[in-house]
Amino acid sequence: MKTITFLFSLLLLVGCQNFGELTILSDLPNDLREVSGTEVVSNSNLIWMLNDGGNKTKIYGVSKKGKIVKETRIKAKNNDWEDLTSDEKGNLYIGDFGNNESRRKNLVILKVKHKDLSSSKKVAVEKIRFYYPNQSSFPPKKKQLFFDSESFFYYNNSLYIFTKSRVKNKFGKTSLYRIPATKGNHKAEFISEFNNCDEMDCWITSADISNDGSKVALLSPSSVLIFSDFKKDDFLSGKLIRIPLNYNSQKEGITFKTNNTLLITDEKAHGVGGNFYELKIN
C-alpha cells in the first residue's frame, strides 16, 4: 500500500511540474506576484525581474531556483513598468510604457547602468523618451486603442517596441517600432505589424531576441511565437513557428537563456501562475 501511495504521489508531482511544453523551474516569491518582465543580463549570474505599475520601484536579481538574491532600488516612478531588456555591456533597460487606455504622453524607457545593479543605494537612470507619430488623440477612439505596450528588446544600438492592442476582435495585433537606445525624446519609427489572432489570449505581452540575433520570441498568454529568417530588422517578416503552451495564465515575461532555451514568468492571478518556467525550442 505504501509503495502504491508513493508511486501515485510521484506521478502527481511529475504531472504538476509541466504544462504542455513548459517545465516549471520554481514558483516565484510573493514580492514578484505581479512580475511583468524577465531578462538574462550579460556579466550577471542572476535573472532580473520587475513588477508592473503600482508596485515598488525595484528590480530584482533572482537565482536560477527563483529566489530573490538582490533588490536594486530605482530613482524613477513606476508608472507602468512592463518589460526588461539589456545590451551587450550588461546595462538594463526598463520599459515604462504600459498604456492601457492609450492616454499617456510620458512614455519612457529607463536605462540602468550595469555597475549600478549591485548598488545598495537608490540608483539614478538615464531616460529615453519616445512617442508614436501616428497617435494624435489621448485617448483615441476605442477602435484605435493600439498604443499600449508590454514588450521590447535591445538590438544593435536600437530598442524595438511591440505594441499590445486593446481593440475588440483585434487583440492579437502588434505593431513593431524602433527608437535609438540613447537619451532623448524620439519619434518611434514604424516598421511593420502582425496579427496573432483576435482573442485576448493572443495579446503580445513580452519579447526577446536570441544572443546570436537569429530568432525573435513573442509571448502571449497561450503561446510563444518564434520568428526567424527575417529581413534585416523587420522581425515580423520572418518564418513563424507557433508553440502552444497548453496552459493559459497571465504570462508576462520572456527571455532567451541560450539560443535554444527560453525562460518565462507569469503573474499570480485567479489562482494560477506565479511561476518561473523553462521552454526548449529548436
Cell of 166: 486593446
Burial 105-129 (b: 16+ CB within 10 A, else e): eebbbbbbebebbeeeeebebbebe
Q: What residue ranges do the domains of the chain occupy?
A: 20-280
Strand partners, 258: 261
C-alpha 254/C-alpha 22 separation (Å) is: 12
Confidence (pLDDT) at 15 = 36
DSSP for 229-279, please give it.
S-BTTBGGGSEEEEEE-S--S-EEEEEEEETTEEEEEE-EETTEE-EEEEE
Cell of 143: 477602435
First to last CA, the chain: 43
Q: Which residues of the chain have pLDDT under 50?
A: 1-19
* H/E element, 4: helix 2-16
Taking residue 137's Cβ as centre, other Cβ atoms within 10 Å add up to 9
Question: Is residue 52 a contact partner of residue 33, using CB atoms and an 8 Å limit?
Answer: no
Confidence (pLDDT) at 234 = 98
Tell me whether the omega of the peptide bond preceding residue 139 falls within 30 degrees of 0, making it cis.
Answer: yes
* H/E element, 204: none
CA-CA-CA-CA dihedral for 199, 209, 153, 61, to nearest 10: 100
DSSP for 121-163, please give it.
SPBP-EEEEEE-TT--SSS--GGG---EEEEEEEETTEEEEEE
Task: Report strand pairing: 215-219 vs 206-209.
Answer: antiparallel
Confidence (pLDDT) at 270 = 84
Q: For residue range 162-207, list pLDDT tens digits in order.
A: 999 999 999 999 999 999 999 999 999 999 999 999 999 999 999 9
Strand partners, 71: 60
Confidence (pLDDT) at 37 = 97
Predicted TM-score (pTM) above 0.95? no
CATH class of segment(s) 20-280: mainly beta
Confidence (pLDDT) at 247 = 85
